[in-house]
Structure 1
Amino acid sequence: MSERIYNVLFLCTGNTARSILAESILRKDGRRNFRAFSAGSQPKGTVNPFAIKVLNRLDYPADELRSKSWEEFARPDAPVMDFVFTVCDNAAGEACPIWPGQPMTAHWGIEDPAAVEGTDMEKEAAFVAAFRYLKNRIAAFASLPLESIDRLSLGTKLRDIGRSDGATSGHEKAS
């Protein structure tokens, strides 16, 4: 891959769990070629403590992570995104802002670990599973020959990544 740095935005509704995990994973695993961001259509304003716990335990950056609105990335002074991935089904179905630069988009929905009820151990296990699914998808994405693949083929590959293990059926509740 060349010296180009690609901007990637992960979207969810609340921006408390899945999109936060994805931002941190790409921040660490793709730091040479990618700049990672996350946001939500209806941000809750706080990051889920289990997301922070799992990221810390797995030695992924949790500093500077915050729940924020996707409007932050639609402003004229925002970084221009090359890729925008929705990681929850609700965000995928919402009317997104117009992203400057016409980024490539795909839906990578996985079950919401924040929706899991039960013991703290069960909740943490759900976050670990979500982390694993996202890490696998991000690894597949980061290994794509982005500069040498045509836009149509790239779009197909991005959608295929979203259909990998852990993919949701396309319908879930907001969290």
Structure 2
Amino acid sequence: NGVWQKRTLFEQGARAPLIIRAPGKHGAGQDCRRIVEFVDIYPTVASLANVALPEGLAGRDLTPLLNNPLAKWDGFAVTQVLRPADDRLAEPVMGCSIRTARWRYTEWAEGKQGIELYDHHSDPQEFHNLAVAPDDDARAAITRLRPLLRSRASGAVPTTPFNPARL
């Protein structure tokens, strides 16, 4: 799709590398392609240090992946960006996206300004928005991912004052 700036939710703008070195773990020095989130760092470091975690903490312990980078993992990552008002948008729009091993599902303004669905098995560059004319697989993915995304992110624009020039 060629768009990579941080005001997008495409893979090139949303993805970031994470490197963890945990001495004594079997997977040390190996590449792991599983999808994780930065909120997973705290529970992982706490686990490695044998520190108890508070109840209701966001994030997952990545220790199983540190032990075995090929371990079964059903991770996903949620990303949000605020697109400021400009010559194309009269008002700011919040975008929220969820990425699984196969799919990226995105909503703009809680779906009121559009939805996107990309199949990373067949379209890793996210050129073909399957939400435009979804087949059965795409409809099933949207049905599964929409509530998961909405449970983790809000598409509402923040009510706090912001300065678009800073974005």
Larger relative contact order, structure 1 or 2 (CA cutoff 8 Å, min sep 6): 1
* TM band (smaller chain): under 0.3
TM-score (norm 2): 0.26
TM-score (norm 1): 0.25
